[in-house]
Amino acid sequence: MQRRFEFEQVYNFRDMGGYAASDGRTVRWRWLFRSGEPQRLSEAEAQQLRGEVALATVIDLRSEGEADHPRGLGPLVGDGVSRHHFPMGDPRSKYAARESGEWDPHYDNLLEERGDEWATIIRLLSDEAAYPAVFHCVTGKDRTGVLASLIYGVLGVDEQTILEDFGMSQLGMDRLVSDLRARGKIGADEQANPALGVPVPAMEHMLEVLRTRHGGAVDFLRARGVSDDELQRLTDLLLE
């Protein structure tokens, strides 16, 4: 199965499927996807995607300002597709990183401070009517990466695989930086914004916090009101 989807201006659109879970099952293909902001899809690209995947749900993790984009919500949101907006993150952080030349994404803080929102998303994804579904932020690596790692943790995907999957976002960011250089947005000798990197150690630290401080993804979500029935439905929907 193809994991990475190549679109002209949407980076890091990937299928979550194919990874082994702790109970011997495998994450289901063509059922749950992660992405950068999909409003940059062309209508032709969206039509091609819809021909392969009958999306039912779009989960938007962008902040209020980021989501209020002149392009609108994009061609994936329309008849038969529900959009759920969970505003997260500071839209100024990447600009600040460009100015300072330093960036710490603080994934552990994002995990803990937005725990109730993560729990609500898990409840949403425990309903079969939500699928196929895609969740996204702007570049499809940070907020999207936290949610992907949390879901994989519930499913029992091992941490090394979670980190390798997270690191795969660097391929999309490399292509984005190359495109920005080709368009003159980044000078040939100019350092790219460090916030366009994919800091695997930061995600590794978040997983350590999740494991040592909260007892893992399942206990983290239980503590925020997700029931065992909802967690079981999620795993049964996402594993095969």
| pLDDT tens-place string over residues 208-221 | 999 999 999 999 99
Q: Which two tokens stand for residue 172?
A: 């999309």
| Sheet of strand 82-85: strand arrangement | 4-5, 13-15, 32-35, 133-136, 57-60, 82-85
Residues in the chain: 240
Task: Tell me which residue of 205, 185, 172, 203 sits closest to 8, measured CA to CA.
Answer: 172
With beta carbons less than 8 A apart as the criterion, state whether 184 and 81 touch: no
Mean pLDDT of 79-96: 87
Write down the pLDDT at residue 135: 98
At 4-26, the pLDDT tens digits run 999 999 989 999 999 999 999 99
Whether the pLDDT of residue 146 is over 90: the answer is yes
The share of the chain scoring above pLDDT 90, in percent, equals: 79
Write down the pLDDT at residue 59: 97
pTM score of the predicted model: 0.95
How many CA atoms lie within 13 Å of 183's alpha carbon, on the beta-carbon side?
8
Task: Tell me which residue of 146, 154, 157 sits closest to 18, measured CA to CA.
Answer: 157
- Beta strand 82-85 with 57-60 is parallel
Structure confidence at residue 63 as a pLDDT band (50, 70, 90)? very high
Structure confidence at residue 71 as a pLDDT band (50, 70, 90)? confident
